[in-house]
Structure 1
Amino acid sequence: MTEKYVPSPEVVEQGLYVAYAALSTMAVVPIYFGSFAALKKWKNPKDKKSKKKKAEDTDDSDDEEETTESMSMEDAYMFPVFGSITLFGLYLVFRYVDKTYINYLLTAYFGLLGVMATTQVGVNCVAPIVKLVGIKLDKWHLTLTKKKAELYSAKFTYLHLIMMVASILLSGYYVATKNWIASNIFGICFALNAIQLLSLDSFKTGMILLSGLFLYDIFWVFGTEVMVSVAKNFDAPVKVIFPRLFFGLPAGEPYQFAMLGLGDIVIPGVFVALCLRFDQHLAGTKNPNLGRSTRFSKPYFIACFIAYALGLGTTIYVMHTFKAAQPALLYLSPACILSVLFMALARGEIKEVFAYTSEEGTEAAKAKEEEEKKNKKAAEEKKGKNEKNEKIEESTKIEPVAAEKVGSDSDQDSSNTPKIRKRKGGKAQKKK
């Protein structure tokens, strides 16, 4: 019987340092590159020609930009609530249902999402290289319509197809083996796509979101066993992991992993991306011809990015010291918020920070306002129609009453007429 391998404390300590460094790298890299990927071409709001250019977009792939989902203040308030409901629901499911079947379903679901995420990230990484080499790729445009209504539209090249095939193979490998490296690739791709496609409409919204999740993380980690239990049982690429002892582990020995949830990367990452867009806004107001250039001062982005790294380091230090799971947002949320506030105070731009609204937020607000106007107009039209119908109904009710009165009067006249005739007839008989 072979003895179980027990590493020395020095080896364990060194292994943990390697794991922490790997986790930190897998956290900051998606935030840095995702923030720049989310940065759109600067358009001067005062330039009226920019509105005309929107309607005259060409098929040039360089001018295409991914549509983003803007998070409003109402969404930020409700995010911790829906997150708590989902988390507790998963906890109950894992507790009372066989987790094997649940993880089969989750594996299939995240395997499909992983194909789309890795395809997009792969195209974003390889496309600049292809362009630099000078290879031109034909673009295909797929449109699905039904009775002249566009249901789906997609533009793709051969590069998309190649990356999709590679992503399908990677997804199949992950589903079959549950390899931790493939899981990390999916997790990093998910984080990159989320930071690129999800945006905050203002710093107010971002601070509300981080503050709400600050309390959310503290409650579910320190107050209950729910968060830790779900993280251990949830066998899906929603976290990045690394072996606690990677070098020096004998062959055949199972890995013990250290982990960091994607929520601790994506949520602060979206806030860091907002800081970069604000830096672009400040530079664009001074230089309206900024365009796609990223060569502008980035004080808020650098401050928030460094604050995130320090907050993550604090989380790891406390976790390592107390040998217990820590709510990362307990340290990351204050670090990100305070970095922006201190930078704004130092630069005398506190009013500009709280007055800032992103382009996506402005467009979403306009769309919401237009929708409210349409709904209000439709309600007024409906109310007008109802009032008109009520008047018509009232007029139709009055006419029968009038007819009844007329009818009753004529009946009275007809009833009186025979009496008169009788009298006349009586007088005539007397004369005879």
Structure 2
Amino acid sequence: METDTNELGLYMAYGAVLTMAVIPIYAGSLASVKGMKRPTNAPKQPASDNPLDDSDDEDDTVLESLSSGDAYLFPVIGSAVLFSMYLAFRYLDKEYINYILTIYFSVMGCAAVTKAFLMVARKTLPMCLLKHVAKYKVTLSKKSKNISHISFTVIHGVLLLASIGLTAYYSYTKNWIASNIFGLSFSINAIQLLSLDSFKTGIILLSGLFVYDIFWVFYTPVMVSVATNFDAPIKLLWPRNIIEYVTYFIQNHSLLAESKFTMLGLGDIVIPGIFVALCLRFDRHMSWKRNPVGPFRTTNFPKPYFIANLTAYIFGLALTMFVMHVYKAAQPALLYLSPACILSSLITAAVRGELKEYFAFTTEDEKEKDKKKNKEEIDDKVKEVELFEQEQQKDSMKENNDTESVEVEEEDDNVAESTGSENTRTTANSRRRK
């Protein structure tokens, strides 16, 4: 009976972790559409009546893009950070390291949780209540020129206080539920704010981290060691036997002292998540290209790439858990997630006959692309001028060397002539003496 309970609890843990992984990807991807650059032929959306909206100007929210150069460096930098953390935990006092990490993630987490709470409030609070909420605005200006501004309401203040309270509770107890709230908030914000500039960049990033994950999990103890010692909200946790956990809490009115957890790192959510979000933005791009009417920043459009990629992510994560359950060993999730996300998007593009548009798609602004192109053209011209000047210098040096050689030869001939004349005079004088 106990074995059956443990088995059921473990399946529930897998389902809970899978659900918690999908929620931030879905929510963050939909939120990322709001950060897309509005096309020139799209009408500007009127200011929202919701006082909880961050900005009055829709063009203020533009995503931070990762380029292919960033994608190439990501596994290298990640490996350096991971190995540094491994050495720190091995040779330094883990308690003090976790104190520092707790302080850092508490500060960062407070802002992330506040923003996540705000997203939930926008979707759940009815407008009949929000219309009575006053909105305040603070503007920073210099010489009558506005530099930046921030808008807030009483609800913002309440959510901030709730986040501070949750942060204090987590810092004191390290409760796994509070840790999951922080982890989900980090994931949603990262997927919403980070953007891949093209599918090429996404494929490079996922391929590099595919190798990165396999190496550090299968060939070294580094990844597992850091994950188990790193006491910070960078992973999602769920008790391996939630039935036993809840039963113990009801009977003893306290938490189970030693409970084993199923865990999933936030990297296995955020990295594939930003690729899934890219697929959703590509769906919006293609739908607007076919039918450029209505508001641009909406979520009401066909989503074939997003649905295919999110489904592939769920399948890849489920396969990870299945293999982990069968072999009773930790698995690098990106070993399954990276191919699932890449292949699903490529197959969808091939089936729809959109491979050309797939590889040509970029999130860069047209003005930025023109600036980049002009800069590259200027750099090429500068290089051409430098090469031309170098060639001119080489030719000039060669001509100088040839001139010097001629002068040296002329001097040698003069010396030879003068020497020959002196020898002739010497011979003539000797004859006269004789």
Equivalent residue in structure 1 for 2:73, among 75, 78, 86: 78
Q: Which shifted more, 288-297 or 187-196?
A: 288-297
Which residue identity is paired with 1:9? Answer: T
State which drifts further: 129-138 or 219-228. 129-138
Helix, strand or coil at the partner of 2:138: strand
CA contact (8 A) 1:118 1:186 kept: yes
DSSP-derived class of the 1:39 partner: helix
Report the CA distance shift for 1:244/1:138 in structure 2 as closer, same or farther (over 3 A): same
1:171 matched to 2:143? The reply is no
Question: Which residue, out of 88, 91, 104, partners 1:93?
Answer: 88
- 2:222 aligned with 1:217: no
Per-residue CA deviation, residues 203-256 of structure 1 (Å, 9 max, x unaligned), is: 111011000000000001011111001001100000000011111243444211
More displaced, 66-75 or 36-45? 36-45
Q: 2:157 aligns with which of 161, 165, 178?
A: 161
Does the alignment pair 1:350 with 2:355?
A: yes
Cα distance, 1:362 vs structure 2: 4.9
The answer (yes or no) to whether the contact 1:201–1:362 under 8 Å persists in 2 is no
Amino acid at match of 1:88: F
**What is aligned with 1:396?**
none
**How do residues 18-417 of structure 1 correspond to structure 2 at under 5 angstroms?**
18-40=12-34, 45-47=39-41, 61=53, 63-64=57-58, 66-130=61-125, 132-136=127-131, 137-144=133-140, 153-249=149-245, 250=248, 251=252, 252-291=256-295, 292-358=297-363, 360=364, 362=366, 365-366=369-370, 368=372
Q: How far did residue 78 of structure 1 move?
A: 0.7
Give the distance between the partners of 1:181 and 1:289, measured in 2 at CA. 44
**How large is the Cα RMSD of the aligned pairs?**
2.9
Quote the sequence identity (%): 54
Whether the 8 Å contact between 1:42 and 1:280 is mirrored in structure 2 is: no
**Are 2:207 and 2:338, in contact at CA under 8 Å, matched by a contact in 1?**
yes
Q: Is the 8 A contact 1:202 1:357 kept in 2?
A: yes
Q: State how far apart, in whole Å, the 2-side matches of 1:26 and 1:106 are.
A: 23
Q: Distance in 2 between matches of 1:288 and 1:41?
A: 18
TM-superposed deviation, 1:162: 1.1
Contact 2:68-2:201 within 8 A present in 1 as well: yes
TM-fit CA distance, 1:373: 8.7
Residue in 1 aligned with 2:7? 13
Query: In 2 relative to 1, CA 367–93 (structure 1 residues): closer, same or farther, beyond 3 Å?
Result: farther
TM-score (norm 2): 0.78
Unaligned runs of 5+ in 1: 1-6, 384-432
- Judge conservation of contact 1:70–1:364 (CA < 8 Å) in 2: no
- Letter aligned with residue 274 of structure 1: L
Q: Which blocks of at least 5 consecutive residues in structure 2 are unaligned?
A: 387-434
Whole-angstrom CA distance in 1 between matches of 2:172 and 2:97: 16
* Distance in 2, Cα, partners of 1:148 & 1:85: 47
Report the Cα distance in structure 1 between the residues aligned to 2:93 and 2:146, rounded to whole angstroms. Answer: 43
What code does the residue aligned with 1:13 have?
E
Map Cα deviations across residues 14-71 of structure 1 (whole Å, 9 max, x no partner).
1110110110000001111111011127776352x86xx69x9899846545342101
| Distance (Å, rounded) in 1 between the aligned partners of 2:224 and 2:367 | 39
Once the two structures are superposed, residues 318-353 of structure 1 have per-residue CA deviations (whole angstroms, 9 ceiling, x without a partner) of 001100000000000000000011111111111110
Aligned to 1:324, the other structure's residue is in SS state coil
> How far apart in 2 are the matches of 1:370 and 1:362?
12
Number of residue pairs matched? 369
Q: Tell me, what secondary structure is at the counterpart of 1:348?
A: coil
One-letter code aligned to 2:341: C
Decide which moves more: 240-249 or 124-133. Answer: 124-133
Partner SS, residue 248 of structure 1: helix
**Most deviating of 128-137 and 171-180:** 128-137
The 3-state SS of whatever aligns with 2:33 is: coil
* Alpha-carbon spacing, 1:103–1:284, altered in 2? closer, same or farther (3 Å): same
Are the structure 2 counterparts of residues 350 and 150 from structure 1 closer, same or farther at C-alpha, using a change threshold of 3 Å? Answer: same
TM-score w.r.t. the length of structure 1 is 0.78
Native 8 Å contact 2:235 2:263 kept in 1: yes
Change (3 A) 1:257 1:157: same
